[in-house]
Structures are given as C-alpha cells and as structure tokens.
C-alpha cells in the first residue's frame, strides 16, 4: 500500500551539544521536513520536556483535542543524551494529555534517545492523523520514510520492535512503539521502547494511537558535537567515578529500583490496600529486591552508558517464561501491597502483561486496586466486574483485568479511563486517588510532607519524578542550589523552599536529560553541561532555568483550564493513620500551599504565576495571556 509522502531537508543550526534540527511529520498530508532547532528556545528551555513544552506552547491551544489530529506529539532529547555522560540515555515525549487534559509528559530510558541523536536529529514533532496505520523509518543520511503498518497493527510491543528491526535490516535499530492499549486509546497507554522501557505516564501512547502511528525505528552513527571534547572527557572520568562509588547508586545496582520495597516500609513510604495504610501485613517480606534476586533474577540490564544497571531480566517458572523484563518498584507496589498480594511472581507477570500491551503500570495498577477496594467495600459486585471476584490478596483477577483494559472489553473499558472517571461513573468520585486525573505513585505523603506538595502542584498531575523529595530526605543535599534535608514532617517556609528547589533541579535534569539515579553533584553537572554546550552556568542560572521550565508548564496548564482548585490532594491519602512510622501525621496542605505560592511568586487566589515572576524568568510573552484583563505592559 503506497503512502503519500514528501520530504524537505534543511541545514541544521550550528549549536554545540545539539544535532541542530527537528524532524517535522504531518501524517495527514504525508509531508516530512527538517526544521533547524530554535536556538533561543534551546538556550531558555535546554531540551527534553522543557524544550518540548516550549514547542507545545506554539502548537497547542485551549481547544486542542488531546486525541485529535491537531495535538502535537513531541519526541525530544537533550544536550547530554548520547554523549559519554553516564546515565544520559533518556528521551521525553510530550503532548496535551488525554488523561488529564493538561501538559502530558513521559520520560523513558534505554537506547532509543541516543540512537535518535545518532540519526542527526534532536527531536521529532508529529501532527495530523494517517489514513491507515503507519510507522516511521529514520536513518542517518537517508530521507525519513513512512511505511504501511497495517500488518503491525494489533501486535504487542515486543513483536512490533522485532518486526521493525527486521524491516530495517539492522538488529541495532531502536524502536519506540505502542501496543494494543495505545491502538485502543486507553487513557494511560504508554510509548514503549527497548523491550520494557516506557514513557509511560499521561496517556501519550493513546495520542500516538490516535494518529495511527504504530512505531518509530531509528538507526544512525552521527556524533554529538561537543564544545570542548578534551575537557568533557576529564569531567566524565570524575563523574563516572562518583557514580560508581555513590552509595545510592550502589544500592540501585545491587537491588534495582525494587530496593525501595526493602527501605521504604521502614519510614512508612509504601502504602497498601489502595493507599489505606502503610502496614503491609508482611508483604514486604516476600515482595522485595532480595526475593527477586535470589529466586528469579537472570541478569542486570543497563540503559545507554549506565554503570548503575537498575533494570532486571528475570525468569518466571510458574508462568513458563524463561526471560522477561523484571518489575520496577512502582510496578511491585501496584500489583503487590496495593492489592494485598504477597506473590512476587504474580507481581512480575502483571508488570510483563502491562509491557506487552503498552500500559503505564502505576495508573493501571492503581486503577485496578481502586476496583478491588470498591469490591471489598460492597460498592460494586461481580455483576459489574464481569464475574471477577476482586478479593485482597488474589492477583489472578488483576491479571485478567489487564487484558480487558488493553482491549477495552467489558469492565475493562471503564477501568481504561482511569480511577477518576471510574469513580465518577460509579458515584464515588471522592474515593478515587488521583491529582488532576493522574493516579498517585507509591511514595506516601504521610511519610514525606514535601511529596504532598509535589503531587498537588506537579505539572503533569500526581508525579514523583517532578520532585523526588523522598530520595533527598534519605540524607542527600546540594548546598550550591539551596537543597538540604531535615525532618520529613517539617512544614516551615525553609522546608517548602527546599522542596521548590528540588522541583527546579528535576525540571532541569528532565530537560538536559539525565537519569535521577545518577545524582551527580551540582558543580560536576555544571561542568558537564558547559563542556558539552559551551554554556558555563552558575548554580543560580541552573536553578533559574529549572524554575523557568517548570513555570512554563504551569502557564500551559492554565491555558488548558487549570485553576487554583486543581492544587489539591485526594482525601484517602490525607487520612491520619493509627499505626506505623507516620502514625498521627498528615500534611497540612493549606499551609504548605500558602507558603509555596509565596516562594514561587504565584497569585494566592488564582494560582497563576504573577506578572513580575513571569518577567523575571524571561516569560514576558505569556503575561498578557494569563493576565489579559488585569495587566498593562509598561
């Protein structure tokens, strides 16, 4: 089947640390063209989710339908990606989210991001909708091409990756794709790559499916141009030594992210039975890193140039699976404690099914756990659940629901819309645990007050990666940018400012892009950034850039309908517990938000960034949009 298409090349912009161009794809017309990277945007927003958000601001308005052809789907790397920097193998996917209606953002590791850079591009912006399923081939030195993907439609994401590699004739090809969940526009479908890696959150796989875009295969050999290669080599040597010796990195290397199941319960950071308690009733003894390593581990799996290798390849004898991608921490909690399940093999198989179909394990697991809680409370019964008995501790119904969700069959069609919409449909909206229709991750706000503030205000909805306070409060600090640590329950102005600085740092690292687990010291990060780009920033400039990126996303969310009322937390996670490490405490969100608005320079009534703050951050062009009826330019 022929596909109407044309390609217009263009010379890239010359910019150290960047390949210098973006591939634009209009699926409706079949037109593909190169666009030099906007240097002014890059200097202000760096790359990754920050630079993608700036392009989104140009392309998406208040009336943009998240699942309509006009919604841009943006794949973006950053200046660190594909260099010799350890753990800089990530990429971002950004669009208006069908799950939240706000700025959608996913972030994935593996090798796809560096391979995209090797084709000569920093990013891809996809608009329109193809008449039939297509996939995109992108090679260095060859015009990008769209191919018929009719034969790929319906394949799971593992099969698609194999098929595209075969079609491109090179096993070193890297593939980003969707599974059946994305095709069926499940609102928390992810964009999958490199086996089980995923840009999972906010439903960007559904956006990709709405465009009839099944996959993007990339293969190249181009090098990232560095400002000072010799100095960069020296900095990288020191950074690598730091990562290898860092205690947190060693723990991640030893146990993977599921190591948090070994340490989190000690401080009450892990919730169970749909966020109702931090008493895991012994589940932590069977669902943890040690059990995974002793009974199921085959090998550690690294991302691009990563000495940590937190990924896991495991075997599941009970399911006759000799080799699958192992569960990460969030997956382990979603299908372990959240449904009262002690069986680690069931947990791992649930994560595998989510990978097969292309589902975000946090939202999928949390929504299923919500259904379990409603069933146990006699709010729903088997007549609603297609005959499944959703009893705490029994993971088998959850496994059946994952497939039903992916294909939107029966009760799965309701679950595919997420916890918030399911709660509304069943008349129990107040029991659904989400912020802005994005299900909460599994770091409990009663253990870390700062996480409550992060969840309530994170620009993509409840998001632990927007500000990993729980990580910093294990004893890490970055005094150069004002990040320290103290009492996790402290609610002082200083603690709120500390949380804001963590959020700003993560806004920068999610744009540069750098894995959070590397956690190099700020002076080394600035040296890396400078030797790659030629931009030798001070710590203050790094923080200011992070705040600018974070604030831009806040501006976009106000464009998309966000109000002051959106900054909230669900009642179930604010319930005071009678036992456990955080017994007797819940965050005073009103106090935290009042202080946070003061720190941020946001209006206390509307939650909007004030004109003075926008001006100070170089976001003047958005002042009139936010304050059209009250602002008069000087």
What is the average per-residue pLDDT within 310-320?
A: 97
**What's the CA gap between 477 and 492, in Å, rounded?**
18
Task: Give the C-alpha separation, 605 to 608, whole Å.
Answer: 8
pLDDT tens digits, one per residue of 447-465: 999 999 999 999 999 999 9
Residue 48 pLDDT > 80? yes
Token pair 């950053």 in the structure block, residue: 78
What average pLDDT does the segment 492-511 reach?
97
What is the fold, at CATH topology level, of the domain defined by 263-439?
Answer: 1.10.569
Q: Where are the beta strands (DSSP E) in 73-190?
A: 73-76, 91-96, 103-108, 123-127, 134-139, 145-148, 174-177
What pLDDT is recorded for position 249?
84
Q: Quick one: pLDDT at residue 245?
A: 85
Mean pLDDT over residues 308-332, rounded?
A: 96
Give the tokens for residue 542: 């790094």
pLDDT at residue 27, as a whole number: 98
At 518 the pLDDT is 83
| Topology given in CATH for the domain delimited by 452-518+537-626 | 1.10.599
Average pLDDT rounded to a whole number, residues 469-492: 91
- At residue 75, the 3 state secondary structure works out as strand
pLDDT in tens, 434-448: 999 999 999 999 999
| Residue that wins the pLDDT comparison between 519 and 431 | 431
- Tell me what the pLDDT averaged over the chain comes to: 96
Q: Rounded CA gap, 582 and 53, in Å?
A: 37
Task: Average the pLDDT over each of 62-66, 476-480, 562-566 and give the range with the smallest value.
Answer: 476-480
Q: Three-state SS for 622? A: helix
Ranges for all domains in the chain classified under CATH 3.60.9.10: 6-219
Looking at residues 580-599, what average pLDDT do you find? 96
Question: Looking at residue 634, what is its pLDDT?
Answer: 46
pLDDT for residue 283: 97
Q: pLDDT at residue 516 above 60?
A: yes
pLDDT surpassing 90 at residue 507: yes
pLDDT in tens, 127-139: 999 999 999 999 9
Q: Residue 243: pLDDT band by 50, 70, 90 thresholds?
A: confident
Q: If pLDDT is split at 50, 70 and 90, which confidence band does 506 have? A: very high
d(CA 211, CA 125): 12
Decide if pLDDT at 633 tops 70. Answer: no
Confidence tier at 606 by pLDDT (50, 70, 90): very high
Residue among 476, 529, 500, 543 nearest 88 (CA): 529
What confidence category does residue 486 fall into, taking pLDDT thresholds of 50, 70 and 90? confident
SS3 of 452, please? helix
Q: Is the pLDDT of residue 162 over 50?
A: yes
CA distance 517 to 310: 9
pLDDT for the residue numbered 630: 64
Confidence of residue 629 (pLDDT cuts 50, 70, 90): low
Domain 6-219, CATH? 3.60.9.10
pLDDT in tens, 221-233: 999 999 999 999 9
Question: Where do you find CATH 1.10.569.10 in the chain?
Answer: 263-439
432's enclosing H/E stretch is none
CA 120: distance to chain centroid?
24
pLDDT computed for residue 242 by the predictor: 86
With contact defined as beta carbons under 8 Å apart, do 59 and 72 qualify? yes
The torsion angle over the Cα atoms of residues 613, 616, 618 and 619, rounded to 10 degrees, is: 10
Q: Give whole-number Cα distances, 548 to 56, 355, 555, 617, 620, in Å.
A: 15, 34, 10, 6, 11
């Amino acid at each position: 089947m022929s596909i109407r298409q044309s390609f217009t090349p263009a010379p890239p912009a010359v910019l150290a640390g960047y390949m210098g161009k973006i591939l634009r794809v209009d699926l409706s017309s079949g037109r593909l063209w190169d666009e030099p990277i906007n240097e002014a945007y890059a200097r202000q927003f760096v790359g990754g989710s920050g630079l993608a958000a700036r392009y989104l601001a140009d392309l998406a308005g208040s009336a943009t339908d998240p699942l309509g052809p006009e919604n841009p789907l943006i794949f973006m790397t950053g200046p660190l990606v594909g260099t010799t920097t350890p753990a800089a193998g990530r990429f971002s996917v950004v669009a208006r989210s069908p799950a939240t209606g706000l700025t959608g953002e996913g972030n994935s590791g593996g090798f796809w991001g560096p391979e995209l850079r090797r084709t000569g591009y920093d990013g891809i912006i996809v608009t329109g909708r193809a008449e039939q399923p297509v996939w995109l081939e992108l090679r260095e030195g060859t015009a990008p091409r769209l191919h018929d993907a009719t034969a790929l439609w319906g394949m799971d994401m593992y099969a698609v990756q194999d098929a595209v590699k075969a079609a491109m004739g090179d096993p070193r090809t890297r593939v980003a794709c969707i599974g059946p969940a994305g095709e069926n526009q499940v609102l928390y479908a992810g964009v999958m790559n490199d086996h089980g890696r995923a840009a999972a959150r906010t439903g960007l796989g559904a956006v990709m499916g709405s465009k009839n875009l099944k996959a993007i295969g990339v293969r190249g050999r181009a090098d990232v141009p560095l400002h000072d290669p010799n100095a960069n080599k020296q900095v990288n040597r020191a950074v690598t030594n730091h990562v290898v010796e860092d205690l947190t990195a060693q723990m991640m290397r030893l146990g993977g992210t599921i190591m948090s199941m070994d340490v989190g319960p000690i401080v009450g950071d892990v919730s169970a039975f749909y966020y109702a308690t931090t008493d895991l009733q012994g589940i932590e003894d069977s669902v943890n890193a040690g059990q995974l390593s002793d009974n199921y581990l085959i090998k550690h799996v690294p991302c691009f140039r990563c000495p940590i290798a937190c990924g896991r390849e495991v075997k599941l004898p009970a399911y006759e699976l000799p080799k699958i991608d192992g569960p990460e921490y969030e997956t382990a909690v979603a299908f372990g404690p959240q449904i009262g399940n002690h069986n680690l093999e069931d947990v791992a198989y649930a994560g595998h099914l989510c990978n097969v179909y292309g589902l975000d394990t946090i939202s999928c697991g949390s929504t299923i756990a919500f259904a379990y809680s409603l069933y146990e409370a006699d709010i729903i019964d088997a007549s609603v659940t297609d005959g499944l008995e959703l009893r705490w501790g029994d993971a088998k119904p959850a496994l059946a629901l994952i497939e039903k969700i992916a294909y939107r069959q029966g009760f799965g069609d309701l679950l595919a819309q997420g916890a918030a919409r399911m709660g509304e449909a069943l008349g129990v909206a107040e029991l659904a645990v989400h912020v802005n229709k994005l299900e909460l991750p599994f770091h409990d706000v009663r253990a870390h007050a700062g996480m409550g503030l992060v969840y309530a205000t994170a620009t993509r909805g409840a998001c632990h990666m927007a500000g990993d306070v729980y990580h910093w409060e294990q004893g890490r600090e970055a005094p150069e940018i004002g990040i320290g640590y103290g009492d996790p329950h402290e609610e002082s102005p200083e603690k709120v400012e500390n949380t804001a600085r963590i959020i700003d740092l993560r806004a920068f690292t999610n744009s540069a892009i750098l894995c959070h687990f590397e956690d190099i010291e700020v002076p080394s990060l600035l040296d890396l950034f400078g030797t790659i780009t030629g931009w030798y920033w001070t710590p203050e400039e790094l923080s200011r850039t992070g705040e600018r990126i974070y604030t831009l996303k806040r501006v976009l969310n106000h464009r998309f309908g966000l109000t002051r009322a959106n900054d909230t937390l669900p009642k179930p996670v604010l319930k005071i517990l009678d036992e456990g490490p955080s017994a007797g405490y819940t965050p005073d969100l009103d106090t935290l938000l009042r202080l946070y608005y003061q720190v941020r320079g946001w209006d206390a009534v509307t939650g909007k960034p004030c004109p003075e703050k926008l001006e100070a951050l170089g976001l003047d062009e958005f002042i009139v949009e936010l304050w059209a009826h009250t602002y008069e330019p000087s």
